[in-house]
Amino acid sequence: MTLSPLAPSSFPDMPKIVGINLATAATGTRYKGRDDLLLITLAPNSSVAGVFTKSDTAAAPVCWSRTIAKTGKALAIITNAGNANAFTGRLGQEAVRDMAKSLAATLKCNANEIMIASTGVIGEPLDTTALTSHLGKLVENQTASWQSAANAILTTDTFAKGAYATCVIDGKKIILCGIAKGSGMIAPNMATMLGYIATDAALPASVLKHCLHEANEESFNAITVDSDTSTNDSVFLMASGSAENRPITDPLDPLLDDFRTALVAVTRNLATQIVRDGEGATKLITIDVTGADNKKTAREIGLAIANSPLVKTAIAGEDANWGRIVMAIGKLSIGILTNNISIDIGGHAVARAGMRIPGYDETPIANHMSGQMIDIGVTVGTGVGSARVWTCDLTHGYISINADYRS
């Protein structure tokens, strides 16, 4: 797989979090010569939260983990790459139960303390034998790095994705580390992506759930590569409690402001890395919408632009065809007044009050389009609603990757 031209220069040097351990293994079930199984174990009394795909065809591991997440407690998360265990009926459910029971027996805990995630090809039955045979070694050797963990969950990704931040809760230094995977089948309502964020903060599951949902809306639910929502999207937030900060039960407590900001920073970093690794991507596109009636409408407008094949292919071809942005806004049919629309590209004015600006010069726009980072600004009125979404261009590379995905 050719490295994305938008890839970061290196994987961050992420610190270990006390109470969170990692292990990886190569099962050979689909990929040869690389790890494809990740085990994350959590210290007793850790808290967990999760957000999952809203797809009506959610995979068996999603259904299982969604139930576990409601308890706010787990001791391990096991993830396999290569087979999504989605649309596999009774066999898929049995595979999940087998994985949970096998890992629980190895860890000497209950199956309902095990969360499961899968990513890969949809519709193929998952043979758990090759996976469960590695559980003993995984449990015995929980010394993997965050980078190794990130590499073990990749499918069509071209690089491992990691991010971390530090913050303070009531005078205590707190660490947040996150990894994610995703390249195609990426669209809001969770975008095939998996995300894992760990922290040493001592926070109850109810607080984690609120903070994760808040951060998710500003990150993973604000990206799109191809408008296709996956069957397996899952993001987990784990808190080991090893920082031993003062207990906080109100997610809106001002003492959590720094933590919430850091969590959004980590999830946004991971989310934009996923877009940078969009299948066939050569350009990262940031779209800012202002002046909408509310945030929801602003996001709908931003996503209409971000998901337009005509907009994305024009950008791939470095064609400053901003008329396609106008089309994408209008196709929503939500009552936007043409005379209220203004458009900027790369910080340069293109249109004001529903028409091209007088003396329009396309030269600076064309120069901006030749770069890797594309910025589009759209104002649709005088409302207070605003939103930012990220996407990538649509190239021949996307077709090549997905035409041969299973070969």
Q: Assess whether pLDDT exceeds 50 at residue 190.
A: no
What's the rounded Cα separation, in Å, for the pair 15 and 175? 8
Q: What is the pLDDT of residue 397?
A: 78
Structural domains in the chain, sorted by start: 20-276 (3.60.70.12), 284-403 (3.10.20.340)
Q: Are strands 37-42 and 76-83 parallel, antiparallel or unpaired?
A: antiparallel
User: Residue 280: which pLDDT band, with cuts at 50, 70 and 90?
Assistant: confident
Catalytic-residue membership of 192: yes
342-363 per-position pLDDT tens digit: 999 999 999 999 999 999 999 9
Task: Give the pLDDT confidence score for residue 182 in this predicted structure.
Answer: 85
> For the chain, how many residues are written?
407
Are the C-beta atoms of residues 252 and 201 closer than 8 Å to each other? no
pLDDT tens-digit map of 375-402: 999 999 999 999 999 999 999 877 776 6
User: What integer best gives the mean pLDDT of the chain?
Assistant: 94
**407 confidence band (pLDDT: 50, 70, 90):** low
| Helix, strand, coil distribution of the chain in percent, nearest 5 | 35, 25, 40
CA pair distance 220, 228, nearest whole angstrom: 13
Cα–Cα distance between 145 and 142 in angstroms, integer?
A: 9
Q: Give the full edge-to-edge strand order of the sheet including 342-345.
A: 355-356, 348-352, 342-345, 373-379, 284-292, 385-392
Residue from 24, 155, 192, 272 carrying the catalytic annotation: 192
DSSP one-letter string for 196-245: EEEE-----HHHHHHHHHHHHHTTGGGB-SSSPPPSS-EEEEEE--TT-P
Q: What pLDDT does 278 receive?
A: 86
**Three-class SS state of 147:** helix
Rounded-to-integer distance, Cα 385 and Cα 35, Å: 44
Global pTM reads 0.93
How many angstroms separate the Cα of 25 from the Cα of each of 141, 306, 375?
Answer: 10, 37, 40
Q: Using the predicted structure, report yes or no on whether residue 187 has a pLDDT greater than 80.
A: no
Amino acid (1-letter code) at residue 111: A
Q: What is the pLDDT of residues 12-66, one digit of tens each?
A: 999 999 999 999 999 998 999 999 999 999 999 999 999 998 888 999 999 999 9
Could you count the other beta carbons within 10 Å of the beta carbon of residue 13?
10
